[in-house]
Structure 1
Amino acid sequence: MTDQQATDQQATDQRATTDSLVQANISQYWSERADSYDAFQVSQLRNGAIRQAWLGVWRRALPAPPVDVLDVGTGTGHVALLLAELGYRVTGLDHAEGMLERARAKAADVPSNAPTFVRGDAVAPDFPPASFDAITARYVLWTLRTPERALENWRKLLRPGGVLAAVDSTWYPDGIDSGPTDGDAHPTFRLRYTDEVLAALPLAQAKSIEETAERIRAAGFAKVAVTPLQEIYELDEKYGVAPGHKVQMQFLITGVAS
């Protein structure tokens, strides 16, 4: 091995170590959050207007069912279960075991067409190329390390003409300590989302949703479009948002795999 090869290998090993530590912190935080996070999601879906609004978001964004959908960063299964209800064949993937436990418990009560939930890395989901017709990602891109690499991997998992449908917002445009911090109910937020972790998450403090859209374009997706979710915003104003958060415009970002 040449000196340059040794240097390159050392850099690769260091990146892998950093990635592992960053993801461990993120996964631990969301496992710790699983109970309270799921309680709020469940309460939202008990509201008929909110439930129908989210069903409409996904119905309009995705190809008609039944097709195969990967829900990346599925959490406690909020999106995966709605998609299954619409008739999609859904696989939900998450790295936080605490979140997956909640998702699997809810799926066990679904009488038919229940999603399958698996543990895995959102940056590099372990599936064969062209395994899915659509990929969904709700509130994932902001907390994703190396989103460029992740999006390229997601595109490869899609069949030709497959759709990416991501929902997110600019949660911390003025810095992580001036945005939603989950308040006193979740004091571990900044213990897990340290400055070192945030340095590895380029979209965590994005000032514009266009920063997210540009990365989707750069990953090779075509027909990238950003749609403000006005109905969701109005429902949040009417019924409230999660503790420690404020009402913010959310966006649907879609793209097509060529």
Structure 2
Amino acid sequence: MDDNTIKKGITELWNNAYTNYDNCYAHGMKSEGEKLEWLRLLDRLIETKPSEVLDVGAGTGFVSLLLAEQGHNCKGVDLSENMLSVARAKAEKAGYTNVSFAIADAEDTKEQSNYYDVVINRHLVWTLPHPEKAIRDWKRVLKPGGKLIIMEGNWHYSRPSDKLQVFLGRCLLSIQEKRNAFSHNGDYDADLKKSLPMLKSKNAKRLSNMVEDAGFAVSVVALKDVDRAEKKAMPMAYRLLNPHKRIAVIGIKEN
């Protein structure tokens, strides 16, 4: 598939998903305990306030709005206008004037070079056809000494125990919600998935190496407290469906 077709497919999927995105566990905020852990995490990861932050793949504004609440100046960009419309509405309702949203390609943001203190994203890299290109662009827009924060999870569930857990979760969910929880409606189609290298487990495991190869000084932080709070808010079926563990890959742009 050519890049235009890939990006069009990605945009269409998220433009269709916007109405229900925040209702999904592991996407929207489900409890005060979860919000508290996210705020604590972002406090640890971004020490300087206020910072100029670019939230790439901002979606409905989950990270952008937390950063705005903490006093940072944040710009969120995404390919999906529908997702961003939700983010704008939430920002307006909260009365935030230090956050804005715009359409942009995560792999070519068109943002000013050497401008941002922090570039951050959550659950984005697996959706990119050219993650290395994206990482290079994020480095370009960071100031010397700036920080890249990539938050991702092990979404592949390749261990037999994880596969069994997810299967049991789908069975339980099908019974409880009287629907086919084994359906893949709303997922990327097979051809599109082939164009997304980070969907392959071997590539996802290389994420920290990819950031290092781009010239960053790299460290990795496990998001245990966030995962724990998130899963505490989930009903049992959804807890079984989500055995993922998340990390933050942190890269410092050297001077």
Q: The TM-score by the shorter chain falls in which range?
A: 0.7 to 0.9
Aligned match for 1:59, one of 43, 59, 76: 43
Give the match for residue 220 of structure 1: 215
Aligned match for 1:128, one of 91, 108, 112: 112
TM-score (norm 1): 0.82
Q: Which amino acid aligns with 1:246?
A: N
Higher relative contact order (CA 8 A, sep 6+): 2
Structure 1, gaps ≥5 residues long: 1-16
C-alpha spacing 1:148/1:173, structure 2 compared with 1 (3 Å): farther
Whether 1:188 and 2:182 are equivalent positions in the alignment is no
Q: CA RMSD in A?
A: 2.7
Please say if residues 76 and 99 of structure 2, whose CA atoms lie closer than 8 Å, have aligned partners that are also in contact: yes
Q: 1:134-213 maps to which residues of 2 (within 5 A)?
A: 134-174=118-158, 183=181, 187-189=185-187, 193-207=188-202, 210-213=205-208
Alpha-carbon separation, structure 2, partners of 1:161 and 1:72: 19
TM-score (norm 2): 0.83
Cα distance per residue 1:117-160 (max 9 Å; x no partner): 00010000011101211011000011111000110010010000
Q: Which amino acid aligns with 1:218?
A: D
Please say if residues 170 and 208 of structure 1, whose CA atoms lie closer than 8 Å, have aligned partners that are also in contact: no
Tell me which stretches of 4 or more aligned residues in structure 1 moved more than 6 Å: 178-182
Alpha-carbon separation, structure 2, partners of 1:63 and 1:202: 32
Q: 1:1-258 maps to which residues of 2 (within 5 A)?
A: 18-40=2-24, 45=29, 47-174=31-158, 183=181, 187-189=185-187, 193-207=188-202, 210-222=205-217, 224-240=218-234, 245-258=241-254
Q: CA offset at residue 173 of structure 1?
A: 5.0
Please say if residues 122 and 152 of structure 2, whose CA atoms lie closer than 8 Å, have aligned partners that are also in contact: yes
C-alpha spacing 1:63/1:209, structure 2 compared with 1 (3 Å): farther
C-alpha spacing 1:46/1:198, structure 2 compared with 1 (3 Å): closer
Structure 2, gaps ≥5 residues long: 171-179
Please say if residues 44 and 50 of structure 1, whose CA atoms lie closer than 8 Å, have aligned partners that are also in contact: no
Helix, strand or coil for the counterpart of 2:94? coil
